[in-house]
Amino acid sequence: MTKQYETVIGLEVHVELATKTKIFCGCSTAFGGAPNTHTCPVCTGMPGSLPVLNKQVVEYAMAVGLAANCRITQVCKFDRKNYFYPDNPQNYQISQLYLPIARDGFVEIEIGDTKKKIGIHEMHMEEDAGKLIHDEWDDTSLVDYNRSGVPLIEIVSEPDMRSAEEVMAYLEKLRLIIQYLGASDCKLQEGSMRADVNLSVREVGTTELGTRTEMKNLNSFKAISRAIEGERARQIELLEEGKAVIQETRRWDDNKEYSYAMRSKEDAQDYRYFPEPDLAPIVISDEWIARMKEQQPELRTEKLERYKSEFKIPEYDAGIITESKHMADLFEATTAICGKPKKVSNWLMGETLRLMKERDVEADALKFSPENLAKLVELTEAGTINSSVAKEVFEQVFAENVDPDKYVEEHGLKTVNDDGALQEVIAKVIAENPKAAAEFKGGKEKAIGALVGQTMKAMQGKANPAKVNEMLRAALK
Amino acid sequence: MDIMSLTAVELGRKIKEKQILVKEAVEAAFAQIEAVESDINSYVTLDKEGARKRAEEVQRLIDAGELTGPLAGVPVAVKDNMCTEGIRTTCSSKILENFKPTFTSEAVLNLEKAGAVILGKTNMDEFAMGSTTETSYYGATKNPHNTNHVPGGSSGGSCAAVAAGECSYALGSDTGGSIRQPSSFCGVVGLKPTYGTVSRYGLIAYGSSLDQIGPVAKDVTDCATILEAIASHDTKDSTSVKREDYDFTGALVDDVKGMKIGLPRDYFGEGLDPEVKAAVQRAVKVLEEKGAVVEEFDLGLVKYAIPAYYVIASAEASSNLERFDGVKYGHRAADYDGLHSMYKKTRSEGFGAEVKRRIMLGSFVLSSGYYDAYYLKALRTKALIKAEFDKAFAKYDVIIGPAAPTTAPELGKSLSDPIKMYLGDIYTISLNLAGLPGMSVPVGCDSKGLPIGMQLIGDCFKEKNIIRAGYTYECATGKEYETMAMGKEA
Q: Is residue A256 part of a domain?
A: yes
Give chain A's domain count.
Answer: 3
Is the same domain home to A315 and A444? no
Q: Would you state the pLDDT for residue B354? A: 96
- Average pLDDT (A68-92) is 97
pLDDT digits (tens, 9 = 90+) for A280-333: 999 999 999 999 999 999 999 899 999 999 999 999 999 999 998 999 999 999
* Chain A residues touching B201 at Cβ < 8 A: 48-50
Is the same domain home to A71 and A178? yes
Give the DSSP H or E segment for A196. Answer: strand A193-203
Q: Which of B79, B382, B462, B464 is catalytic?
A: B79
| Dist CA A286 CA A97 (whole Å) | 23
Min distance A172 CA to chain B CA atoms (Å): 36
Which of A268, A288, A308 is a domain's end point? A288
For residue B329, give the chain A residue with the closest CA: A46
| Dist CA B2 CA A376 (whole Å) | 88
Q: Would you state the pLDDT for residue B484? A: 44
- Average pLDDT (A233-238) is 94
pLDDT digits (tens, 9 = 90+) for A391-441: 989 999 999 999 999 998 888 778 776 777 888 888 888 888 888 888 888
Residue B79 known to be catalytic: yes
Q: Would you state the pLDDT for residue A266? A: 63
Residue/partner pairs of A28-36 with CB below 8 Å, 24 or more apart? A29/A150, A29/A151, A31/A190, A33/A146, A35/A133, A35/A142, A35/A144, A35/A146, A36/A143, A36/A144, A36/A145, A36/A146
Residue B377 known to be catalytic: no
Q: Which of B93, B105, B136, B154 is catalytic?
A: B154
Q: Does B343 touch chain A (CB under 8 A)?
A: yes
Q: Which residues span the domain enclosing A434?
A: 419-476
Is the same domain home to A345 and A212? no
Is the same domain home to A331 and A462? no
Q: Does B315 touch chain A (CB under 8 A)?
A: yes
pLDDT category at A187 given cuts 50, 70, 90 is confident
For residue B317, give the chain A residue with the closest CA: A277
Q: Would you state the pLDDT for residue A388? A: 83
The answer to whether the CB atoms of A86 and B327 lie below 8 A apart is yes
Residue B178 known to be catalytic: yes
Is the per-residue pLDDT at A263 higher than 90? no
Q: Would you state the pLDDT for residue B260? A: 98
* Chain B residues touching A51 at Cβ < 8 A: 238
Is the same domain home to A169 and A270? yes
Is the same domain home to A266 and A217? yes
Query: Can you tell me whether residue B222 is helix, strand or coil?
Result: helix
Is the same domain home to A19 and A102? yes
| Dist CA B197 CA B234 (whole Å) | 9
Phi, psi of B47 (to 5 degrees): -120, 70
Is the same domain home to A84 and A195? yes
Is the same domain home to A92 and A189? yes
pTM of the model: 0.89
How many contacts, defined by CB atoms under 8 Å, are there between A and B? Answer: 97
Which residue in the set B200, B315, B371 is minimally distant from A50, CB to CB?
B200
pLDDT digits (tens, 9 = 90+) for A192-216: 899 999 999 999 989 899 999 999 8
Query: Can you tell me whether residue B380 is helix, strand or coil?
Result: helix
Q: Is residue A168 part of a domain?
A: yes
CA neighbor of B236 nearest in space, from B78, B105, B100, B88: B105
* DSSP per-residue letters across A42-70: TTTT-TT------HHHHHHHHHHHHHTTP
Is the same domain home to A153 and A215? yes
Which of A231, A265, A288 is a domain's end point? A288
CATH code for the domain in which residue A444 is found: 1.10.10.410
Is the same domain home to A186 and A263? yes
Q: Is residue A133 part of a domain?
A: yes
Q: Is residue A43 part of a domain?
A: yes
Q: Would you state the pLDDT for residue A265? A: 65
Q: Would you state the pLDDT for residue A91? A: 97
Q: Is residue A72 part of a domain?
A: yes
Which of the pair, B378 or A381, is modelled with greater confidence? Answer: B378
| Dist CA B460 CA B464 (whole Å) | 10
Q: Would you state the pLDDT for residue B490? A: 34
Which residue in the set B103, B324, B368 is minimally distant from A41, CB to CB?
B103
Which of the pair, A254 or A355, is modelled with greater confidence? Answer: A355
What domains can be seen in chain B, in order of their start residue? 3-260+479-483 (3.90.1300.10)
Which of A260, A288, A316 is a domain's end point? A288
Which residues of chain B are modeled with pLDDT < 70? 1, 479-490
High-pLDDT (> 70) share of chain A, %:
98
* Chain B residues touching A279 at Cβ < 8 A: 238
Give the DSSP H or E segment for B470. Answer: helix B463-477
Is the same domain home to A190 and A264? yes
Is the per-residue pLDDT at A271 higher than 80? yes
